[in-house]
Structure formats: structure tokens, C-alpha cells
Structure 1
Amino acid sequence: MFSGLSAFPLTPMDESGLDETAYIRLIERLATAGIDSIGALGSTGSYAYLTHAERLRTAQLAVKHAGDVPVIVGIGALRTRDVQALAEQAQKAGASAVLLAPVSYQKLTADEVFGLYEAVTRDLSVPLCVYDNPYTTHFEFSDELHGRIAQLPNVGSIKIPAVPADLDAARARVDRLRALIPVNVTIGVSGDASAVTGLNAGCDAWYSVIGGLLPDLAVAITRAAQAGNWQEAARLSEKLRPLWTLFGNHGSLRVVAAMAELLNVVSRPCLPLPLKALEGNDRKIVATLLKELELER
């Protein structure tokens, strides 16, 4: 579950609520694509914008329609008591694991973050993936803090940000972290543009945004990397270079939302306000890219 390809789909919605039909369609696409796990209610799934009831329904639908594919459910929230309630809710919904980022309004200290994970893991009956995402949380994990948290019960994986582009530097970064965590805790890379480098550097998993919408492409990249065919994995990733550039310029969520709308996989709009998918000229660029990659429908 915490290795290979973990695909993180959108949670399509408008101001009237969750688009259950579109969400089921996304989940079923993933379930038949040969991925290793589904990451429901990650950042791409807009978890921070949903009510507890909406999050429960989303988790239930993901588990119900994922078939035999394990579902990892995001449980991040501002208060520890809410995270604990969401963890219990996810477990009752049938989640195989949970994903937790240290969400905050006030900037958190390392001790506060450790206390959050200590409190949440104490009562878990499923594994937890530590979500290290400074882009959204504005909290910087140290490797030493990761090492402390990884010793807690039920911690199964660490989802790290993009690794350095230089392979030697990426390997050094992964090796530093690996030396501080138990052997049973895996390391997964996020930041899709650096996925191949991360896997080549020793990461066990790719926690993928694009995998949630275009799973076949992400599976092909992952399997090539797992087979040690780094040239093929890099070639496939390089085909998506314009997409990685858009991710860097606009944030992956807005880009993937526009792609999903253009592919008619979801209705427009598909993000909770005030978030919006790309519009105007940027949207035209996405449409052109889909055509060039022969991904349009």
C-alpha cells in the first residue's frame, strides 16, 4: 500500500455539494488502472474545504468503489480533536490507512507537530502516512522530527516533497531520512515532476497528482522505474514536461481541475470556491497540451 503508485484524485464539487457521480467515475477509473493505492481527500481532493459530513461521504464512496485497491484517507484539520474524530470516521468508513498533514493557521512548532502525531497515532487501528507538504501547510519538517514521529505506533510511510533535480543530491536527501526512520516505514515522493528522480533515489512510492486523473500514464512511469528502466521512465515523464511547468506556475490542483473539465470527466466548475480551475489563456494552453499528448476525448 505504501509503495508503488498512490493516485490522488480530485473531489469534484460545486457550491451545492459533492458531485457523487463524477467522483465515483474517477475512483472506478483508478480501480481498474492497476495502481497500488488511492489517496482520497488529499490536497488534490480539497479536504481542507469540506465539512466532516462531506468528508465522510467522500471516504465512503472511495472505499465502496475502489474494489480491491487500498484507500488512504486524508484526516488533516486545524484542531487535534477534529483530526482524531476524522481518523475515527475514516476507519469506520473502511479506510486502509490515513494521511495526515499538520494543518494550521498559527505557525506550528516542532513540539506541537510531534504532539499532534503522538495523540492521533495512539488510538489508530490502521497505518498512518505523514504528509510533509510545506507548500500548503507552511511547516518545514526536519529529518530529526521525521525520525521521532516515525517511531510512533502505526506510522507506515512519509510523503516527502519534491527531491532535488540532481540525482546524487536526491539520493543523499533520501539516505539522510532513511537513516533516521525504522526499516518498516517507507518513503514516498510527491511533486510529480520529480517522481522519477525520487524513485531512482530510493523512494518506495510515488504519491501522484496526475495519477489521480491519468492513471495509465502514471502507472507506465512507475512500472518502468520499478523495473530499473530509468531511461524509459524519464522519457515518459519528459513528455509531460509542459504539464510539470504548468504545475509549477499555477499549482497542480488548478491545472488538474482544468484538465478534468476539458476531458469531460467532471462538470464545470469542479472546485470549492474560492478555488477555481485555470481559465482564459492558461486554460487554452492546457487544452492544446491535451491535444498534443493525444489525451483529449
Structure 2
Amino acid sequence: MFTGLCAFPLTPVTASGVDEEGFRNILARLTAARVDSLGILGSTGSYAFLTREQRKRIATLANELAGDIPMMVCVGAVSTDTVLRLAEDAQEAGADALLLPAVSYQPLRDDEVFALFETVIRHASVPVCVYDNPGTTHFTFTDELHGRLSSLNGVRSVKIPGVPDTPAAAVDRVAALRHRLRPGVTIGISGDAFAGLGLNAGCEVWYSVRGGLFPETAKQIAQAAAMNDPARVTALTTRLEPLWALYRKHGGSIRVIAAAAGVLGLTDTDCLPRPLQPLPAEDIAEIARVITELELK
């Protein structure tokens, strides 16, 4: 499952809890588009804000809706014991893979992160994707640590946060990481604005927030990469610069995607877990305009 387009859907949350109807609406778009896989409860899936029971319910619901589309579930938490319980829940809910970040209140050492992955893999019956996202976890993986982790048979993919902003530098970055990894471990690009550069540099999978709401638009890019058409990949991602500008303006993707889900009528306008706040009306109007102008779907 670690190739192609892995769509990361929003988990909409209201004052009364998880909005299951809104989540069903979002998942329906992804299954209709036949994305290659689903990334449930990633950062935009708000895993860090949800209880264990809520996370298991979302994973179970996603599995019911996914059909034959494979599903990866994030099991990130501060303590190893909690991660193991979440991994058990995710597997019981039907997860085909686990997405594991290094989350901690105290700064983690590389050996401690390796021990975390080693422990989870020893207890898991499904493969693991390394979730490298220093912007949210505040832990930065080195290429050396990625290489050590890839020596664990359960590790099948690495989700990197982005690549340098020139094609040549992106190629060098992906090549340097691949040199460290065990053969067969895929590299996945995240950070939607870097998708074109990453895919053209040789990343086998796009772990996509944008694909979690606008799957048809994202599939065009992933399919162009699969057809080894870098010019089309670049053209399709460059035209989306107004969307990337919104990400930058609002400090990342989650507030933009939540607002967009409301604009599309899939969720309430206010669908973020507190303390996150919805964007003001003027910003939502700008997001609606960009969706229309770019014909996002």
C-alpha cells in the first residue's frame, strides 16, 4: 500500500464530539475517487486531540467505509504503553498499516525513538510507516536514524516532511535518504506544496492532506508521476500555488482544509478541535474563491 496517493482526511470535530456524518461525507469523496490508500488520524486527522475511544471509533468507521482501499492509522502518543494500546485498537479496527510519529513531552534521543519503533513492531502484526513531522512532534529524524529504523523488518515506508525547493536539490535529498534505507522501503513526500518536487525526485508515494479533501485533483498529479511525466507533475502542482499560499498564510494546512470542508458543505464551518479556532469569515470567503478558481475536486 506504500505507493501512489495516500489520502489523509480531516477528522471533523464539533462541540458535541467527532462529527461522524461529516467524516462519512469526506470518506465518500475518497472512495469514489479510488485513492490508492487512506491515512487515518494523521495530523490533519487531529489524532493528538482525540481520546482513545474516539480514535478507535474513527478507525472502525473508516474501515467500514473504505471497502477494498487499504487503510493506515496513526497511533502516535506520548507514552509507549499508550502507543501499544492504540496500535492494538487500530489493528482490531482493521488497519492495514500503522503510522508512527515520535511524540514526547521531554526531548527524545535517537536511541529512545529506535526503541519505540522496535517495541511497536515486535507487538504489531501489520507494517509501520515512519512519521517524520518535526513541525508537529518537534522531533527531527536524521538520515542515520531512518536507516537504523529501516533495518527493522516491520518498517515499510518513511513519510518525509518536504524536500528542498529546487529540482536538483530535491533529487539529491531523496537519493541521500534512499542510500540509507533498506531496499524495498519506500519514501513518501508530505507537505502538499512539495509534492511535485518530491514525486519528480523519486518519492514513490504522496502522503497528501490535499488528497484527503480534493482527491480527483491530487490523483492527476500522482498519476502523472506514475507515468514518469515530470513536466505534467510540475505544471499541475504549480497551478495550485494559490492553495499553497493559503497554507502559508494560515500556518499550515489544517485550518484551510477544515474551512474548505465547510465551504463544500461536507461539515460544519466550525469543525476543528479546541483550542484550534475556525478562520474568520473573510478568510473562508477567500478559500471558497480559490476552490472555485482552481476547480478543486
| 2:181 corresponds to | 181
| 1:108 corresponds to | 108
Following superposition of structure 1 onto structure 2, how do residues 129-278 of structure 1 map, counting pairs within 5 Å? 129-250=129-250, 251-278=252-279
Q: Give the 3-state SS of the residue equivalent to 2:140 in structure 1.
A: coil
| 1:291 corresponds to | 292
- Give CA deviations for 1:258-284 in whole Å, capped at 9, x if unaligned: 111111111121111111232243222
CA distance in 1 between partners of 2:154 and 2:241 (Å):
37
CA distance in 2 between partners of 1:45 and 1:295 (Å):
20
CA distance in 2 between partners of 1:34 and 1:220 (Å):
12
Q: Give the 3-state SS of the residue equivalent to 1:32 in structure 2.
A: helix
Structure 1 residue 256: Cα displacement:
0.5
| 1:32 corresponds to | 32
- Give % identity: 53
CA distance in 1 between partners of 2:234 and 2:278 (Å):
28
Structure 1 residue 163: Cα displacement:
0.5
Q: Give the 3-state SS of the residue equivalent to 1:179 in structure 2.
A: helix
CA distance in 2 between partners of 1:229 and 1:147 (Å):
29
CA distance in 2 between partners of 1:205 and 1:193 (Å):
14
| 2:71 corresponds to | 71
Structure 1 residue 295: Cα displacement:
4.2
Distance change in 2, residues 1:294/1:203 (3 Å): closer
For structure 1, the residue ranges without an aligned partner over 5 or more in a row are none
Structure 1 residues 67-76 or 246-255, which shifts more?
A: 246-255
Structure 1 residues 217-226 or 275-284, which shifts more?
A: 275-284
Aligned AA for 2:263? Answer: L
CA distance in 2 between partners of 1:176 and 1:2 (Å):
20
Structure 1 residue 77: Cα displacement:
0.3
Aligned AA for 1:61? Answer: L
Aligned AA for 2:259? Answer: A
| 1:128 corresponds to | 128
Structure 1 residue 143: Cα displacement:
0.1
CA distance in 1 between partners of 2:147 and 2:294 (Å):
41
CA distance in 1 between partners of 2:295 and 2:76 (Å):
36
Aligned AA for 1:77? Answer: A
Q: Give the 3-state SS of the residue equivalent to 1:6 in structure 2.
A: strand
**Normalising to structure 2: TM-score of the pair?**
0.97
Q: Any conservation in 1 of the 2:35–2:215 contact (CA below 8 Å)?
A: yes
**Normalising to structure 1: TM-score of the pair?**
0.97
Q: Any conservation in 2 of the 1:2–1:204 contact (CA below 8 Å)?
A: yes
Q: Any conservation in 2 of the 1:37–1:69 contact (CA below 8 Å)?
A: yes
Corresponding residue pairs, total: 296
Q: Any conservation in 2 of the 1:76–1:83 contact (CA below 8 Å)?
A: yes
| 2:49 corresponds to | 49
Aligned AA for 1:259? Answer: A
CA distance in 1 between partners of 2:295 and 2:127 (Å):
38
Q: Any conservation in 2 of the 1:255–1:277 contact (CA below 8 Å)?
A: no
- Give CA deviations for 1:196-250 in whole Å, capped at 9, x if unaligned: 1101111110000000000000001110111112222222112210111111232
CA RMSD of aligned residues (A): 1.2
Q: Give the 3-state SS of the residue equivalent to 1:130 in structure 2.
A: strand
Aligned AA for 2:148? Answer: R
Q: Any conservation in 1 of the 2:98–2:128 contact (CA below 8 Å)?
A: yes
Q: Any conservation in 1 of the 2:217–2:296 contact (CA below 8 Å)?
A: no
Q: Give the 3-state SS of the residue equivalent to 2:23 in structure 1.
A: helix
